[in-house]
Amino acid sequence: MTDIATYNFAYLDEQTKRMIRRAILKGIAIPGYQVPFASREMPMPYGWGTGGVQVTASIIGPDDVLKVIDQGADDTTNAVSIRAFFKKVANVAVTTETAKATIIQTRHRIPEHPLNADQVLVFQVPIPEPLRFLEPRETETRKMHALEEYGLMHVKLYEDIARHGRIATTYAYPVKVEGRYVMDPSPTPKFDNPKMHRSPALQLFGAGREKRIYAVPPFTDVVSLDFEDHPFEVQTFDQPCALCGAGNVYLDEVILDDHGGHMFVCSDTDHCEKRRADGHHGHLAPETHLALEAKEPAE
């Protein structure tokens, strides 16, 4: 049948999973607080999602349906290999459909399709400390979190405005969780920040190299930091997805040729495919005419 017998379920041993679950529970109890944990060596290099994989491995069960995305896409190396990993070591069902997944491990995006209370979103986090770039001392940043000294976070935003005339931070945009801890939402585009706010899904964050786990429980306030005269804004795009015609979604630029040809398409591939299957079309969709011709007579 399968060769799962050579691994413990979901790769990690049970004691490690218990340790990680305790860290997760503590993280849920203190929203936004970075809980140290004894990160294990995983069979993949740091930077490939070892933190997210350990969190997923600790919460996944045989009945779960796993989706893995990398920058919104289900079909890139990172997503494919992690999905294959869990298929092999946990023998779980996998999917690319957001709505069907119970656990979604993500690198740097939140799916466009709204999440529900039965879903868990697991973020891969490279640098969990939002204060790190301005304050290199871990002892000091910990103290700053403990004493709620977050002025430094605004120094960073101030610098943005001073240099660019606006808050130029577009990803890893700092948020305040439940009015207490300032948190790095991982390098997701700030476009996704509003999706974290009062999300019905549990959001877990794992940083393998930095050995930190933190969490945003369902229905928790997640507020992006800003200035009164420079309020938080998400990115806007002046054209819809070239393939599915969706507006109000996060788009990636795709280079088409060596002559400057390019298009903007949904970064969330599942969302894009769903829309196209539902008959939505962007101006560059290759099957536009075919689809139209195929569908119209039927209607």
Partner 1 sequence: MTDEPLLRVSALSKFYGSRVGCENVTFDLWPGEVLAVVGESGSGKTTLLNCLSTRLLPSSGTASYRMRDGQWRELYRMSEAERRFLMRTDWGFVHQNPADGLRMTVSAGANVGERLMAVGDRHYGRIRATAVDWLSRVEIDEDRIDDEPRAFSGGMRQRLQIARNLVTSPRLVFMDEPTGGLDVSVQARLLDLLRGLVTDLGLAAIVVTHDLAVARLLSQRMMVMKDGRVVESGLTDRVLDDPRAPYTQLLVSSILQV
Catalytic residues: 32, 241, 244, 266, 272
**What residues from 70 to 89 belong to the interface with partner 1 (CB under 8 A)?**
none
Q: Which is nearer to partner 1, 100 or 154 (CB)?
A: 154
Angstrom CA distances, 172 to 25, 87, 252, 292, stand at 24, 30, 17, 40
* Interaction between residue 291 and partner 1 (CB under 8 A): no
**What residues from 213 to 242 belong to the interface with partner 1 (CB under 8 A)?**
226-230
Per-residue DSSP letter, 206: E
Residues forming beta bridges with residue 65, ordered by sequence position: 93
* Interaction between residue 164 and partner 1 (CB under 8 A): no
- What would the two tokens of residue 77 be? 């190396």
Minimum separation from the CB atom of position 290 to partner 1 (A): 52
Neighbours of 28 (CB within 10 A): 20
Q: CA 28 to CA 18: how far, in whole Å?
A: 15
Q: Which of 7, 9, 158, 171 binds partner 1 (CB under 8 A)?
A: 158
Q: Which is nearer to partner 1, 88 or 142 (CB)?
A: 142
* Interaction between residue 152 and partner 1 (CB under 8 A): yes
Q: Which of 15, 63, 151, 259 binds partner 1 (CB under 8 A)?
A: 151
3-state secondary structure of 130: coil
* Interaction between residue 139 and partner 1 (CB under 8 A): no
Q: Which is nearer to partner 1, 7 or 158 (CB)?
A: 158
Which residues contact residue 157 at a Cβ distance below 8 angstroms, ignoring those fewer than 6 apart?
167, 169, 225, 226, 227, 230
User: Can you state the angle between helices 77-90 and 50-59, rounded to 10 degrees?
Assistant: 30
* Interaction between residue 100 and partner 1 (CB under 8 A): no
Q: Which is nearer to partner 1, 155 or 255 (CB)?
A: 155
Minimum separation from the CB atom of position 224 to partner 1 (A): 13
Q: Which is nearer to partner 1, 167 or 213 (CB)?
A: 167
**Distance between the two ends of the chain, CA-based, in angstroms?**
47
* Interaction between residue 127 and partner 1 (CB under 8 A): no
Burial of 76 (0-12, 13-18, 19+ CB in 10 A): middle
Closest CA to 243 of 275, 198, 202: 275
Q: Which is nearer to partner 1, 84 or 168 (CB)?
A: 168
Q: Which of 3, 6, 41, 162 binds partner 1 (CB under 8 A)?
A: 162
Q: CA 54 to CA 48: how far, in whole Å?
A: 12
Tell me the site size for partner 1, rule CB under 8 A. Answer: 19
Q: Where are the alpha helices (DSSP H) in 147-260?
A: 151-164, 193-196
- What would the two tokens of residue 226 be? 């800003």
Minimum separation from the CB atom of position 219 to partner 1 (A): 26
Q: Which of 6, 163, 259, 278 binds partner 1 (CB under 8 A)?
A: 163
Minimum separation from the CB atom of position 162 to partner 1 (A): 5
3-state secondary structure of 15: helix
Contacts to partner 1 by CB under 8 A: 134, 143, 147, 149, 151-152, 154-156, 158-159, 161-163, 226-230
